[in-house]
Structure 1
Amino acid sequence: MELEKANARLAPRGPWQAVDLGTRLYRHWAGPVTLIWLAMTALPFAALLGVSVQTESLWPILLFWWLKPLWERPVLAFYSHALFNETLAMGAIFRRLPSYARNGLIGQLTWRRLSPWRSFNNNVWQLEGARGDQANQRMRVLASGQPNRAAMLTLIVLHLEQFMTLGLLALLYMLIPWQFDLELSSWFFEQGSLQIVISCLCWYLVMVVTEPLYVACGFALYLNKRTWLEGWDLQLGLTRIGRRRGMLAIALLLLLPVLNPQPARADDQPARQQAIEVLAGKDFMPMEEAHERRWKDQSDSESDWMRALWKWLMEHKPEEKNHDPMSLPDGLIRTLAWLLFIAVALWLIIRILRYLDQGGTTAGRKGESAPPTHVAGLDIRQQSLPDNLTAAINQALQANDIRTALSLLLRAVLADLLPRYPVRVHRGTTEQQCLRALRQQHGEQPLFAYLARLVDAWVRTAWAHRPVEASQVRELLDHWQQLHRGEHAHA
């Protein structure tokens, strides 16, 4: 590694200044790294997305997410060569893939997969080629001293990826013409093939930006830590001084016979002393700035468990006798603590969303929930239905408004069924999910078979925009009236 060829100024920086350097690296080589990411991941993602659509399952997409450490390695290989003025072609990067993708990959895909320090530690395996105890010792050395903030970088990029994906989905929803009359709950909560394809494509497009950025910032943190520990800035400074002194010595040798015909005397001052004086100057002895987080109006006592927990999770400063921060059990415990924190946060968010989605109602003491008022965006309250359902449906059919007629019939059927066959539904529950829940909880019933026919006609009319015939709607209405009279007579 020739430091003199570096395209960036290698100097000791703070962790967030190093992250800023990583963003500049990404912006400078955004085009090549984006092409590398697409070439590495486009075909696997398309294949796994096809399997996900066929099986109506998100497990194939989860597999793609789990393989992120493999997808990131060609991007890091490009950054590591481009920074030192060696631009690798696409073919060269993929020809060298077996040489730099094997070391440490098994660990990154198993017990180290959820490590928040992945962007930082991957440089040790891939760029330094360290293995086993050597890699553990190397990571312990790099983790000492000033914290690298790689865990906070992972948390920030994770939230950035989620917010950008949701923002892109919201943008697509706002661009859909109003004639489609698409309900917001159906767009975000429906798990059909179309929703899986759209949401996964939005997530992949966001990763095209966030993943090369994440690798670049982790690489910059690694370079910054090595600059602090190995004095790369001093090495570069001494090299430049040596070059200037060499050029000056050559010039003096050429001019010495002209200026002084006497034999030149050796310099009495040793070169070592001159180097010490140069290094003692302000250019090579920068002031060190230390930053520390403190709880407001709290003492410095380590007995404060909140302060100790924050320091343990965020600062990550292993003691001299500690082992590798990612080896068992310390790294595993810290990773599990992060997972527990994220799980609790997600659980709270889901509970709040469900509470708001149900209109602020909560379940009773014995698990009895309030009667649902909306299903798939349809209002099924009795007061919202017309007094004469048959007349209202016939009026809509005369106006050739098939959608309105089916909507009235479906709302009336759900308003009658759900109080008699209670299931847990909310505003985001789709028609198919409601039917599936009724069958799972109450078994097969004649009314459920009728509801399946009605839901199929409604989906074709409302979502597929292929309206059924008016005669089919009248047949469904007559069938419902017969079932309704039969149920009441049986009761």
Structure 2
Amino acid sequence: MRIDQLNVVLRARSSWEAMELGTALARRQWRAAWGAWLLASAPVFLLANALAWWLGAGFGWAWLLLWWCKPAFERVVLYVLSRGVFGEPVTAWQALRAQPGWQVAGFWGYLGWRRFSAVRNVCLPVNLLEGTDAAHRGQRRRAVLSAAAGPSMLLTVLCMGFEAVLVIGALTAVFMFVPVELLSDSWRAAWELVRQDTPAWAKFGMNLLLWLAASVMGPFHVGAGFGLYLNRRTQMEAWDVEISFRRLRERLQQAMPLLLLVVLFALPVATVPVHAQQAHAHDDAGAADEERAEEASDDDEEEPPAIDPADTPAGIFGDVPVDTAGFRQAVQRAYEDPLQRPTRSISEWEPRKKDDDEEAKRKERERLKREADEQSAKQMSGGAAKIAAMVAEWGLWLLLGIVVVALLLTARRWLPWLSGSARRKAPAAPAVSEDSIVLPEVVPPDVATRARALWARGMPRQALALLYRASVGTVVERTGVALPPGATEAQVLRASRRMPDARDRDLFAAIVRMWQYAAYGNRLPDHADFETLADALQAQYRWPA
């Protein structure tokens, strides 16, 4: 792979940043990534579930087959992301067609003994993108996982959790918006059938939800793992540094002709001062040699100093032949002998100068004065602190005394209230009493008159119950629907929708609403509202007076 063709900014990232980079790559190529996943997984899903439907069983095995083949679908998405990150975008169909000829040697293990690996999202790029042999693949996986195993396993667990959340949310969405109590009888029967003996269409729907959830999270899982892989390669092989050097080389290669022209034009100009400096140096050296020659001639012209004849070898040894060269060497060795020229160090005490004594005394006086000032400042600050603490203490005691005196002076006002509140008992809650609704076995013909009498006697719930019961009878009579014993208000409302007259339906809905408020919410209507509804029911349903 040529890392100079990468179209992402490579740098050493944390594991979370690397996962975010991978998901960003998946989002950038979302058409190809999710399209490749669907093209690869949809045939397997349809074939497995169609076979299970034809056999009448085996939907669980169909889901297990789809789950087991997930590495094959992830392989297609990885092909899309890897080609896109190196500047070779491919479509979903091209990625699917390229699978038979793309690196299969290190892949079959993930459909076999490595299927349960929790670090597949990082190891799959190692096997498929690096193209190494089996002996080196294990070493590469261990090197890449040395700092990415934990984030890789955590990524797998998070994606599994998101898939479970999507499936559970889809299953509960229907019953969240449509309660079971409001479903029709046919839907209730279907729900009971699903719970007791699950039909094939329900099992197929469950497998469909599982496949859709895996399709939503699959490209994100592959992209995040690919981001971890790129981050580890950057950390291990310094891809970011290598890319910087390669780009620097490209810039230098582009600017090389200009640099050569600058060097060619600047070289003659630069050599002129050098030659001038060399000529000037030769002139200076010649002048120095001339000066030294003149000084030597002057020295030669001077007369050597006179030598005492007694110091010559003839004056010392007389006419005896002496080896003067050996004599000179012996004299030199004698002078080099440390015993002939001993050295020693001598220390002497010298009195200090008077000015130094005065300066030291002045510095000492200044130091003492400074210490005295600091000590006095500390004492003053300590005294001020003590005074402030004493004032605060006496102020608090004074405030406490004022509070005590105020309490004593106002005791006749608050003491009775305090003593009374201590003995006051909470009032007992009134007992909840519910009047039992007793209705006649047969609804009387003058329903409205009997209901008004019950309302006048102080039994409003019985009056509303009588009106509701008589209205239910009218609904049964006008629709011909046989209601089961103990039918709920919802069932009766659904039956009332079959009445042809809209006024009949509205009045029945009104009496049901008023009855529910009174029976379940303890909210009784006003007397005027009750009379109005009773008159309307009597006139519309043709009850005798």
TM-score by length of 1: 0.51
SS in 2 for 1:206: helix
Q: Which residue of 1 aligns with 2:223?
A: 216
Q: Which residue of 1 aligns with 2:117?
A: 115
Q: Which residue of 2 aligns with 1:196?
A: 203
Aligned residue type for 1:204: W
Given that 1:53 and 1:196 are in contact with CA atoms closer than 8 Å, whether structure 2 keeps it comes out as no
- CA–CA distance in structure 2, aligned partners of residues 146 and 201 of structure 1: 33
Alpha-carbon distance change, 213 to 145 in structure 1, aligned in 2, over 3 angstroms: closer
Which string of whole-angstrom CA distances, capped at 9 and with x for unpartnered residues, describes residues 322-376 of structure 1? xxxxxxxxxxxxxxxxxxxxxxxxxxxxxxxxxxxxxxxxxxxxxxxxxxxxxxx
Q: Going by fraction, where is helix more abundant, 1 or 2?
A: 2
Q: Which residue of 1 aligns with 2:140?
A: 138
Alpha-carbon distance change, 260 to 145 in structure 1, aligned in 2, over 3 angstroms: same
Q: CA deviation at 1:6?
A: 1.4
Alpha-carbon distance change, 210 to 263 in structure 1, aligned in 2, over 3 angstroms: same
Q: CA deviation at 1:110?
A: 1.9
- CA–CA distance in structure 2, aligned partners of residues 15 and 160 of structure 1: 19
Which string of whole-angstrom CA distances, capped at 9 and with x for unpartnered residues, describes residues 406-441 of structure 1? 999xxxxxxxxxxxxxxxxxxxxxxxxxxxxxxxxx
Aligned residue type for 2:89: T
Structure 1 residues 469-488: aligned runs within 5 Å: none
Q: Which range moved further: 28-37 or 187-196?
A: 187-196
Q: Which range moved further: 224-233 or 54-63?
A: 54-63
Aligned residue type for 1:86: E
Which string of whole-angstrom CA distances, capped at 9 and with x for unpartnered residues, describes residues 193-221 of structure 1? 22212222122222222001111111111
**Structure 1: stretches of 5+ with no match in the other structure:** 266-394, 409-491
Are 2:229 and 1:228 equivalent residues in the alignment?
Answer: no
- CA–CA distance in structure 1, aligned partners of residues 95 and 147 of structure 2: 34
Given that 2:33 and 2:92 are in contact with CA atoms closer than 8 Å, whether structure 1 keeps it comes out as no
| Larger CA Rg, structure 1 vs 2 | 2
Q: CA deviation at 1:187?
A: 6.2
Alpha-carbon distance change, 208 to 259 in structure 1, aligned in 2, over 3 angstroms: same
Q: Which residue of 1 aligns with 2:313?
A: none
Match of 2:87 among 85, 99, 102: 85
TM-score by length of 2: 0.46
Q: Which residue of 1 aligns with 2:22?
A: 22
- CA–CA distance in structure 2, aligned partners of residues 78 and 194 of structure 1: 34
Aligned residue type for 2:234: T
Which string of whole-angstrom CA distances, capped at 9 and with x for unpartnered residues, describes residues 252-272 of structure 1? 22233444434789xxxxxxx
RMSD, matched Cα? 3.2
Aligned residue type for 1:400: V
With CA pairs under 8 Å and 6+ residues apart, which has the higher RCO, 1 or 2?
1
- CA–CA distance in structure 2, aligned partners of residues 179 and 91 of structure 1: 45
**Structure 2: stretches of 5+ with no match in the other structure:** 273-475, 489-545
Q: Which residue of 2 aligns with 1:272?
A: none
Q: CA deviation at 1:3?
A: 1.6
Q: CA deviation at 1:162?
A: 0.6
- CA–CA distance in structure 1, aligned partners of residues 253 and 33 of structure 2: 40
Q: Which residue of 1 aligns with 2:262?
A: 255
SS in 2 for 1:112: coil
- CA–CA distance in structure 1, aligned partners of residues 4 and 53 of structure 2: 51
Given that 2:26 and 2:219 are in contact with CA atoms closer than 8 Å, whether structure 1 keeps it comes out as yes
- CA–CA distance in structure 1, aligned partners of residues 238 and 486 of structure 2: 75
Q: Which range moved further: 130-139 or 21-30?
A: 130-139
Q: CA deviation at 1:50?
A: 1.9
Which string of whole-angstrom CA distances, capped at 9 and with x for unpartnered residues, describes residues 363-420 of structure 1? xxxxxxxxxxxxxxxxxxxxxxxxxxxxxxxx99x96357x57999xxxxxxxxxxxx
Alpha-carbon distance change, 115 to 249 in structure 1, aligned in 2, over 3 angstroms: same
Are 2:207 and 1:206 equivalent residues in the alignment?
Answer: no
SS in 2 for 1:98: coil
Given that 2:144 and 2:233 are in contact with CA atoms closer than 8 Å, whether structure 1 keeps it comes out as yes
Given that 1:34 and 1:212 are in contact with CA atoms closer than 8 Å, whether structure 2 keeps it comes out as yes
Are 2:107 and 1:105 equivalent residues in the alignment?
Answer: yes
- CA–CA distance in structure 2, aligned partners of residues 28 and 7 of structure 1: 12
Q: CA deviation at 1:9?
A: 0.8
Q: CA deviation at 1:131?
A: 3.9
- CA–CA distance in structure 1, aligned partners of residues 93 and 148 of structure 2: 38
Are 2:168 and 1:161 equivalent residues in the alignment?
Answer: no
Match of 1:73 among 42, 50, 75: 75
Given that 2:32 and 2:90 are in contact with CA atoms closer than 8 Å, whether structure 1 keeps it comes out as no
Alpha-carbon distance change, 113 to 401 in structure 1, aligned in 2, over 3 angstroms: farther
- CA–CA distance in structure 2, aligned partners of residues 250 and 195 of structure 1: 74
- CA–CA distance in structure 1, aligned partners of residues 224 and 271 of structure 2: 53
Given that 1:125 and 1:131 are in contact with CA atoms closer than 8 Å, whether structure 2 keeps it comes out as no
- CA–CA distance in structure 1, aligned partners of residues 202 and 218 of structure 2: 23
Are 2:244 and 1:237 equivalent residues in the alignment?
Answer: yes
How many residue pairs match? The answer is: 277
- CA–CA distance in structure 1, aligned partners of residues 204 and 480 of structure 2: 36
Identical-residue share of aligned pairs (%): 28
Which string of whole-angstrom CA distances, capped at 9 and with x for unpartnered residues, describes residues 111-146 of structure 1? 211110011111122112334222111112212246
- CA–CA distance in structure 2, aligned partners of residues 168 and 46 of structure 1: 20
Which string of whole-angstrom CA distances, capped at 9 and with x for unpartnered residues, describes residues 22-64 of structure 1? 1111111111111111111112101112223343331111111
SS in 2 for 1:99: coil
- CA–CA distance in structure 2, aligned partners of residues 198 and 406 of structure 1: 35
Given that 2:121 and 2:222 are in contact with CA atoms closer than 8 Å, whether structure 1 keeps it comes out as yes
